[in-house]
Amino acid sequence: MSNSRFADAVRRRLGAAGWLDRSQIDAALVDFRGVFTGEAMGMARPASTDEVAALVQLCVEHDVAIVTQGGNTGLSGGAIPATPRSGDARPRLVVSMSRMRAIEDVNIERGTITAQAGVTVEELQHCAAEADRLFAPDWGARGTATLGGAVSTNAGGINVVKHGNMREHVLGLEVVLADGRVWDGLRSLPKDNSGFDLKQLFISGEGTVGIVTRAVVRMHERPAQQRIAFASLSSLNALNELMALARSAVPGALSALELIPEVGVAQVVEKFGVRRPLGIVSDWYVLIRYDAMRGGDDVARVDDDLTMLLNRALDAQLITDGVIAGTDAQESNLWVMRDELTATRSFGGFGVKYDLAIPPDRIAAFVERADTLVSTVVPGALSFVFGHVGDGNLHFTVLTPDVDDAPLIRAASELRTKLDGLVWEFNGTISAEHGLGRELRERVVGQKSDVELDLMRRIKRALDPDDRLNPGVMLPDE
C-alpha cells in the first residue's frame, strides 16, 4: 500500500484532525537540541485509546513502524525516527499524543490523578495544586513534556531527592501493545503483589514496548511553603558532608539539592540578566530547598532551620557564604539560575554531553578524575558540571569555549570511550535520567552484562516481536 493510501486509511479512522502530511511535520523530525533528525511519512494524532489501538492495527496490516512522540523534549533522541537498518524498508510513522489531553479524575482520598498521556507535566502540577496537593516530578521542560513521555523515560528532576522518579509516582498504566491490543493496568493500588509488575516494563520503555495512553499517578501532601538557600561551597570536597548535613539537620525537610558551577552562573548572569545572589564568587554553589509541611509557625521554623543549616555549614567550613531567598522574586531568580543552565551549557558550540549518575558520596572524586582525563585528552577543554547531586546525578559537559571546536570534535570518540569507562569504574551509569534513546543504545553495551542485555532483548521480543515500536532506539543491536 502506498503512503498516500495509508494516510487515507488513517484519516478515515481518526478523522481529518488525526493526520498530518510529511510537509507539515518538520518540527517533529528534529529533537529539542537539534542533534537528532529523522524521516517519517507523516504524523498520526489519535484522540483516544481506541483510536491508538485502531491505528496500531492499521500499522500491523500495512507493515508501518511507529515512533511515539510526546512533547519532543527528550534529550537522547528517542522521539525522533532512527535511520532504518539495512533491509528494513518499512515507512516510519510518528504517533503524536497531542490530542490526548484530558485529565480524567482527581481523587483526593486516594491521592491520585488519572490522565491521558498527552497532558503536560505542568498541567498535572496545576491540577494537583488546585486540589491542595503536589505532583512532584518537575524539571525545566515541564510546560511541554508530557505524562506519556515522562513515564516512558522515567523522568526525574529536582524533587527526586524527596519524592523519587516517575517510577515512584505511577500506580497504574493503560498501554496499547505492538499488536494493537489494549492492556488495562489502570489500577490505583499502592500495594499489588499479584505477579509480575508489568507496568515497570513500560516505565522507561522509551516507546519500544508499548504506547502509554493513560496513567494513574500519585499526588503528595503539598508543602505549605518552601524556602531556598543558595550557598558557595568552600570546595567540591565539601559537597558530600554538606549533603549529609542538609539531610540530617532537619529530617524530611530537604526537597531539592542542586550543584551549580560558577562558569554556569556567569553565563546565566550575562545572557538572562539575572542578579548574582552572593557578593562573592566561588567555583561551586549549591541550591538547597527545605519544605514546611504546615503553615503558620512551621514556615517560621523552616527559615530558622535553613539559617541554622547555613550557620552550621559555615562553622564547619563547608560553605563560604549563603543566602536565603526572602521573596518570591528572589526565589524565582535562583530557579532561573538553575533552569537556564541546560540552555547555556553548550555555549553555542560543540559539546560532549553526559547525564550520568554515580554514588553521591563519590562525586568530588569523580569530577577530579574526569577533569584530569578531559585535560589530558583535549588540552584547553572545559568540563562543565551541574545537576541533581542529591541523587548523584551530574550533567557533565565538555566544551571548548572561545576556542576552536575542532580538537574536541576530533577527540570526541576517544573522550567518550574513556569517560564511559570512568563512569563504570565509579559504579555509575551513563544515563541517569534521559534514557538511552538513539544516543546511548550502543554505548550502554559496556555497562551491562551479557545476561542483562539478553534479558532486555528477550523482553523486547516478547512484547514487540516484529520490532514495530521505535526501532533503533534503546536496545543495542545484537
Ligand X SMILES: Cc1cc2nc3c(=O)[nH]c(=O)nc-3n(C[C@H](O)[C@H](O)[C@H](O)COP(=O)(O)OP(=O)(O)OC[C@H]3O[C@@H](n4cnc5c(N)ncnc54)[C@H](O)[C@@H]3O)c2cc1C
Q: How far is the CB of 40 from ligand X (least distance, A)?
A: 12
Binding test (CB under 6 A) with ligand X, winner from 75, 134, 231, 306 = 75
DSSP state letters, 334-392: HHHHHHTHHHHTTTTS-EEEEEEE--GGGHHHHHHHHHHHHHHHSTT-EEEEEB-GGGT
Query: How many angstroms separate the CA atoms of 75 and 328, rounded?
Result: 30
Site of grid cell 513502524? 65
Residue 339 C-alpha cell reads as 533552569
Query: How many angstroms separate the CA atoms of 415 and 144, rounded?
Result: 33
Residue 206 binds to ligand X (criterion: CB under 6 A): yes
Binding test (CB under 6 A) with ligand X, winner from 40, 155, 378, 381 = 155
Phi first, then psi, for residue 91 (nearest 5°) are -70, 150
Nearer to ligand X, 102 or 299 (CB): 102
Q: How far is the CB of 280 from ligand X (least distance, A)?
A: 28
Binding test (CB under 6 A) with ligand X, winner from 42, 470, 471, 472 = 470
Nearer to ligand X, 143 or 295 (CB): 143
Residue 152 binds to ligand X (criterion: CB under 6 A): yes
Residue 97 binds to ligand X (criterion: CB under 6 A): yes
Interface stretch with ligand X, choices 17-25, 61-69, 232-240, 359-367 (CB under 6 A):
61-69
Residue 68 binds to ligand X (criterion: CB under 6 A): yes
Residue 326 C-alpha cell reads as 526572602
119-148 residues in contact with ligand X (CB under 6 A) are 139-141, 145-146, 148
Cβ count within 10 A of residue 94: 25
Residue 211 binds to ligand X (criterion: CB under 6 A): yes
Nearer to ligand X, 36 or 377 (CB): 36
Q: How far is the CB of 154 from ligand X (least distance, A)?
A: 7
Q: How far is the CB of 186 from ligand X (least distance, A)?
A: 14
| 135 touches 114 (CB < 8 A) | no
| 303 touches 104 (CB < 8 A) | no
240-299 residues in contact with ligand X (CB under 6 A) are none
Ramachandran region of residue 417, left (φ > 0), alpha (ψ -120 to 50) or beta? alpha
- Is the Cα dihedral 347, 348, 351, 353 positive or negative? positive
- What does the binding site for ligand X look like in residue numbers (CB under 6 A)? 32, 67-75, 78-79, 97, 117, 139-141, 145-146, 148-150, 152-153, 155-157, 206-207, 211-212, 342, 433-434, 437, 470, 473
